[in-house]
Amino acid sequence: MRKHIVAGNWKLNNTLDQGLALASEIANMVADEVTNGTEVVLGTPYIHLAAVQKLTQKTANIHIAAQDCSTHESGAYTGEVSAAMVASTGAGYVIIGHSERREYHNESDEMLATKINMALKNSLTPIFCCGESLQIRESGTHENYVCQQITESLFHLSANEFKNLVIAYEPIWAIGTGKTASAQQAQDMHKAIRNHIAGKLGNAIADTIPILYGGSCKPTNAQELFAQPDIDGGLIGGASLKSRDFVDIVKSF
């Protein structure tokens, strides 16, 4: 059975104190209420990583993620944070290629391939985001588009490296819009992604890769989405900022 993962993406929200308060609420609720073995990941701003890691390290099944990492190892790159620095905080995951970074920071497929290499080299699990715009969805080319994103940023990896990935399918038209992909639309894309990986690396690898859905996932729709055979969890934006909603999503499996 594949791992179930619910990852929150706090984006540009929460001061250090606010982030610690939120993490503490989530950790308490997870410890008291979550019995389904789902792995919980908190994707915090860089400044929270070390403190949230310390606060949550004793709670089983909680892990910490950065929301990005640099393409560089070190050097004169003001403002950048390397994968090694992320790993040194105790974080185990890093989100790579979120559509907001692709759009506002012009992150190309090629740049994302380098970030994936940096993450793996530093023993971080990348949560690789892919997804199409509304225009591409309406043109009917969405499956080819998303599979191409995967080819360009991930297919240079060996089977052994690929096994360490998590993929998040996030249709851009569903992120922060309140408009969720239907469970069937999400399942169809997750299946297409898994088939694409199987075509390159075989079913044995494809069947082990967790593929998360992201895009206006809430306690009211998580159960139906997570019931789909190829949906292994969620990447949660807005609802990850409310401890009750986030933990209710974790409990939806």
**By CB under 6 A, is residue 235 in contact with ligand PEP?**
yes
Catalytic residues: 98, 170
Site string for ligand PEP, 5-44 (x = CB under 6 A): ----x-----------------------------------
One-character DSSP codes across 6-26: EEEE--S---HHHHHHHHHHH
User: Of 137-176, which residues contact ligand PEP (CB under 6 A)?
Assistant: 170, 175-176
User: Of 172-211, which residues contact ligand PEP (CB under 6 A)?
Assistant: 175-176
CB of 53 or CB of 99, closer to ligand PEP: 99
The alpha helices in the chain, defined as continuous H runs, are 16-33, 49-56, 83-88, 99-104, 109-121, 134-139, 142-154, 159-162, 183-201, 203-206, 219-226, 243-250
CB of 6 or CB of 235, closer to ligand PEP: 235
- Nearest distance in Å: CB 9, ligand PEP: 4
Structure tokens at 142: 């969405």
Structure tokens at 35: 């019995």
Q: Which is nearest to 147 in space by CA: 101, 209, 192?
A: 192
CB of 190 or CB of 201, closer to ligand PEP: 190
Longest dimension (CA), the chain: 48
- Nearest distance in Å: CB 239, ligand PEP: 6
| 129 within 8 A of 95, measured Cβ to Cβ | yes
User: Of 82-121, which residues contact ligand PEP (CB under 6 A)?
Assistant: none
**Interacting residues with ligand PEP (CB under 6 A):** 9, 170, 175-176, 214-217, 235-239
